[in-house]
Amino acid sequence: MNNIDNYNETIFEKIKQVDEYGNEYWKARDLMPLLEYSKWENFHNVIKRAMIACKASNNNVYNHFPEFRKPIVGGNGNVQNVIDYHLSRYACYLIVQNANPKKKAVALGQTYFAVQTRKQEISELEYSKLSEDEKRLYTRILVNNKNKYLFKTAIDAGVKNFGKFNNYGYKGLYNGETAKDIAKRKNISEKEDILDYMGSEELGANLFRITQTEAKLKKDHVNNEEDACTTHFKVGKTVRKAIKELGGNMPETLETPDKSVKELEKEELLKI
């Protein structure tokens, strides 16, 4: 995308359309170049992840991602019908949350579409009705999104070694265990993401660690890596202490699910 630095959130407003019933929507193929994606295949993968997030949050996928066929004329003059979507504002929000955060336009989109975030969060009662797999999918999405904010805040705080920074948080929450130790205990490869092999309860503990660390880094105006790591450790330890005082299960005692979140996502995609 050319001259992205000169763009602002109004670029998303300009491509918004309204149907005959007054409902706003965005065409996926119009949104794609604005988010700096040049290949439909790559952007379609982002849309599919967003669909999983939509379903995991107990929303009707078709209501937010209705599919239609769009005719395009090829170089030889032949007309081909290709897939497109009429995206709701919430669908666009989920897409930018699952898109490449390194793209500047994605950050703009996250700000623009965030207005609907709280309106689409599920209630405690709705969450309680989800199956364990659905709870894992939903909470893992929250963890992934909140981690993006934590990493951005950590960068602003002077963190360069994110492996080190992450391990300080895990060590506080897991009584000294690093990510490598946790992977070994769970009997999974070090190349796999340990968060994908956590149940909803364990993911919830990590979600609290992540959100509180991000808040404290900002509140304390931390500006160097060592203090950021120490903060992460202290927050992890405080979360652990709170779990203990509430009589909860220590995260390292919780069972490792048989399937990873990625496996669950693949199964959900087949259902969509």
pLDDT tens, residue by residue, 128-184: 888 999 899 989 988 988 898 899 999 999 999 999 999 999 999 999 999 999 999
- How far, in Å, are 45, 48, 49, 171 from residue 95 at the CA level? 10, 9, 8, 32
For residues 18-44, give the mean pLDDT.
91
- Quick count: other Cβ atoms within 10 Å of Cβ 204? 18
The strand pair at 67-73 and 24-27 is best described as unpaired
Within a 10 A sphere around the Cβ of 269, how many other Cβ atoms?
Answer: 13
Does the pLDDT value for residue 115 go beyond 70?
no
The pLDDT value given to residue 1: 44
> How far apart, in whole angstroms, are the C-alpha atoms of residue 116 and residue 112?
9
- Which run of H or of E encompasses 69? strand 67-73
- Residue-wise pLDDT tens digits, 242-252: 999 999 999 99
What confidence category does residue 4 fall into, taking pLDDT thresholds of 50, 70 and 90?
Answer: very low
Q: What is the pLDDT of residue 9?
A: 61
DSSP label of 195: G
Rounded distance between C-alpha atoms, residue 118 and residue 140, angstroms? 17
Distance, in Å, from the CA atom of 39 to the CA atom of 32, rounded to the nearest integer, reads 8
